[in-house]
Structures are given as structure tokens and as C-alpha cells.
Amino acid sequence: MIDVNGYLILSYSNCHREAWLVAHRIFPENDNTNLALGRLLHETSYENKGEKDVAIDNIKLDLVQEKNGKTIVSEIKKSKYSLDGARDQLLFYLRRLKEMGVEAEGLLLVPKERKRIPVILTAEEEKRIREMSDEIQKLVDGPIPPIERSQNRCKNCAYYTYCWV
């Protein structure tokens, strides 16, 4: 059994091969430009807007704010690339927080594009994220999945060199 975390959920939403690589701790090169840009943006955005990098159990929240009696947890992304995966990642965090007795709302932030997308955990989304966690457990027990050829997705992926070169 692996400990499914938000990064695995994000990876699985992007590409099953990526999730398998992450789960098997085969990480992309650290000098990947996309990763470096993402880290820089994360460090310099939303200063003094709340508490950044809050780690609880196996979740790591980019930004936590209290507004009008509500807890808002945000995921900061550098571009609209893989926003569906980022949304699933945030839903996973909201579900984990709920299990810990914290009712929170989510916000996806793309500062470069001035995007703020609310994310709410519904019963259907909760079920879908639970099923996704089960699917990831099965995936990592199997062989590495084939390359999912998508020029658009692959060219933005940190594993591009690993898969394509």
C-alpha cells in the first residue's frame, strides 16, 4: 500500500505513466525549467496574504486564509496547464481536511493569468477522489504504463526527457 498524496493525484490526472513514475520515486531532473519557474512563482506570490506552505499529515497546502469565518485553502499554479489535475489535487486536500474535522473551501490561483477558481467538495467529488485513490493503488502495483502521446501535455511535463529522448 502506498500513501496516496496530492502530488500523486495531480500526476494521475495528468498521465498514468507520470503517476507511476512519481509513485516509484523516479523523479525528473531538478533543473527542469518548468519546475524551477513553478517554485519561484510559488515563493514570490501572495506574500502576507495568509499562511503559506502549511503541512498537515500527508498534505501540503500552498496558502491557508481565514475569511468571513471560512477556511480557504489555495493551490498556486504557474499556468493553466493541468488545471484539471490541480483541481483534483485540491479536492483531495479538502477531503483529507474534512476527515480531520476541518470544513474548508478551495481556491485555485494562477497569478500570472490573474485566475481565481473556487473549488467546492461535493459528495460526488468526494466519491470520485476516493475512487481515484483506489485506482492509483492498483496502478502502482502493475508495470510502468506506456507513454501517453500528447504533444501538448508532454512538452509541459517534467518527464519529457525521460519519456521522449
Starting from the edge strand earliest in sequence, which strands make up the sheet with 115-119, in order?
A: 51-56, 59-67, 70-76, 104-110, 115-119
- Out of 15, 64, 121, 129, name the contact with ligand SF4 by CB under 6 A: 15
The answer to whether 76 contacts ligand SF4 (rule: CB under 6 A) is: no
Give the 3-state secondary structure of 5-54. Answer: CHHHHHHHHHCHHHHHHHHCCCCCCCCCHHHHHHHHHHHHCCCCCCEEEE
DSSP state of 146: P
The answer to whether 35 contacts ligand SF4 (rule: CB under 6 A) is: no
Q: How far is the CB of 118 from ligand SF4 (least distance, A)?
A: 27
The answer to whether 154 contacts ligand SF4 (rule: CB under 6 A) is: yes
The answer to whether 147 contacts ligand SF4 (rule: CB under 6 A) is: yes
Q: How far is the CB of 11 from ligand SF4 (least distance, A)?
A: 8
Q: How far is the CB of 69 from ligand SF4 (least distance, A)?
A: 41
Q: Which residues bind ligand SF4 (CB under 6 A)?
A: 14-15, 17-18, 147-148, 153-154, 157, 159-160, 163
